[in-house]
Structure 1
Amino acid sequence: MLSVAVLISGGGSNLRALLDAAADPGFPARVVVVGADREADGLAHAEEFGIPSFTVPYTRYATREDWGAEVAAQLDVWQPDLVVLSGLMRLLPAQVVARYAPRIINTHPAYLPEFPGAHGVRDALAAGVDQTGASVIVVDDGVDTGPVIAQERVPVLPGDDEHTLHERIKPIERRLLIDVVRRVATGELDLAAAALGEPAP
């Protein structure tokens, strides 16, 4: 059984979807802990499912490295097989990435490498494209620059605004994330190979 830690900053909709999936006895992974960089609303999902949680408020630390060291210390307690960044709006310091690589994945509301960063949906609309997407990547030291392990296109419809487009992307993100976690758990997806740039099956 694959043990998963999830890190969030907000409402945790991807976390909720993963918790729902993992509640199925046939799903080969379990969320063992949820962490946040603030008092995030999504921590309520962990409480509902009886999952332990921790909060490491970013603003209490002098540097990103100090904050990251405490996040790593909290994760180390649980020794997760996989770390999922689910709407975590902080870039993990390099030493944290190195500690868990390649076992850290992240979702992103764009078809990477298109529109990386915190405003992928807004940037797609500003660019006037007729399609964007959702991606799951292996986390590296950059901003959404890690190897893509799953992605799918989502059309941009006439009249879309940031909210309506994002609401159509979110279900795709959730489905991709759940499938990636399942494939990692069953051995179908080798994150070490993916991190070296080998194509995901």
Structure 2
Amino acid sequence: MANEKQVLGVLCSGRGTDLQSIIDAVARGEVHATIGVVLADKPEAYALERARKAGIPAVCVNRKEYEDREQFEKALIEELAQAGVTLVVLAGFMRILTPYFVRAYAGRIMNIHPALLPSFPGAHAHRDVLAYGVKVSGCTIHFVDEGTDSGPIIAQAAVPVLDGDTEETLGARVLKEEHRLYPQVIEWYCEGRLQVEGRKVCVLPEKS
């Protein structure tokens, strides 16, 4: 599943802390890829500033400027294609992608979700985790399919839910695991070590 040199296109909607972890991992030589472009759907997204500080092309594709979702996604695809993107990385991108977009990059879109899927999908994972009363949460990295948070799971990390946790305190612990795990999974992809068979993703051994 890997090309000689992967080009990442990172889609964000907010602060971009997961993006920063990827930028840092690339700079340290832990992820053997280049970040071709960072796209945000909101002009105020701080992720754009993080990208610019790192010398990475940063583009706002403002959803409000497009008549419908297909036109918006067409603009995203055009930006990704122009940057030569081979792997789309969703890092806090708060819009559900339609089949139109998913089919354009089938098998080449990753997302990170702040809960242990298939439990607690959707936009309010920490709130839902605390309301349900589970004792363990975490994060999930998965390939994106045409459903919502339903694609094949690549990797997960568990985080305990503590008595007295708030969305903020739980979210901070989960985010720490996100920052560790996401660059690692991207590197597995770059190394061609991810093998998808139906719903299962196998991580192949490192090549000697």
Query: TM-score, normalising length from structure 1?
Result: 0.95
Match of 1:97 in 2: 102
Residues in 1 aligned to 2:31 and 2:71: alpha-carbon distance in whole angstroms: 35
Match of 1:188 in 2: 193
Residue correspondence of structure 1 range 17-96 to structure 2 within 5 A: 17-25=21-29, 27-39=31-43, 40-96=45-101
Residues in 1 aligned to 2:185 and 2:30: alpha-carbon distance in whole angstroms: 15
Residues in 2 aligned to 1:3 and 1:67: alpha-carbon distance in whole angstroms: 22
Higher helix proportion: 1
Residues in 2 aligned to 1:112 and 1:198: alpha-carbon distance in whole angstroms: 13
Q: Cα RMSD (Å) of the superposition?
A: 1.1
Distance 1:28 1:154, change over 3 A: same
Instruction: Please list every run of 5 or more consecutive structure 2 residues that lacks an aligned counterpart in the other structure.
Output: 204-208
Is 1:199–2:204 an aligned residue pair? no
Match of 2:20 in 1: 16
Residues in 2 aligned to 1:18 and 1:34: alpha-carbon distance in whole angstroms: 11
Residues in 1 aligned to 2:130 and 2:29: alpha-carbon distance in whole angstroms: 40
Residues in 2 aligned to 1:128 and 1:104: alpha-carbon distance in whole angstroms: 31
**Residue 153 of structure 1: SS of its match in structure 2?**
strand
Deviation of 1:26 after TM superposition, in Å, equals: 5.3
Deviation of 1:61 after TM superposition, in Å, equals: 1.4
Residues in 2 aligned to 1:24 and 1:165: alpha-carbon distance in whole angstroms: 28
**Residue 201 of structure 2: SS of its match in structure 1?**
coil
Deviation of 1:145 after TM superposition, in Å, equals: 0.6
**Residue 42 of structure 1: SS of its match in structure 2?**
helix
When the two structures are aligned, how many residues end up with a matched partner?
Answer: 198
Residue correspondence of structure 1 range 109-120 to structure 2 within 5 A: 109-120=114-125
Identity over the aligned pairs, expressed in percent? 41
Deviation of 1:64 after TM superposition, in Å, equals: 1.1
Q: Is the 8 A contact 1:135 1:176 kept in 2?
A: no
Match of 2:184 among 179, 182, 190: 179
**Residue 107 of structure 1: SS of its match in structure 2?**
strand
Q: Residue type matched to 2:10 in 1? A: V
What does the per-residue CA deviation read over 1:88-131, in whole Å, with 9 as the maximum and x for residues that have no partner? 00111211110001100000000000100000111000101111
Kindly indicate whether structure 1 or structure 2 has the higher relative contact order, using CA contacts under 8 Å at least 6 residues apart: 2
Q: Is the 8 A contact 2:18 2:178 kept in 1?
A: yes
Q: Residue type matched to 1:111 in 2? A: L
Residues in 2 aligned to 1:36 and 1:199: alpha-carbon distance in whole angstroms: 28
What does the per-residue CA deviation read over 1:38-89, in whole Å, with 9 as the maximum and x for residues that have no partner? 1111111101110001111111112111111111111110121110000000
Q: Is the 8 A contact 2:30 2:187 kept in 1?
A: no
Instruction: Please list every run of 5 or more consecutive structure 1 residues that lacks an aligned counterpart in the other structure.
Output: none
Match of 2:6 among 2, 5, 12: 2
Match of 1:163 among 146, 161, 168: 168
Deviation of 1:200 after TM superposition, in Å, equals: 2.0
Q: Residue type matched to 2:174 in 1? A: I
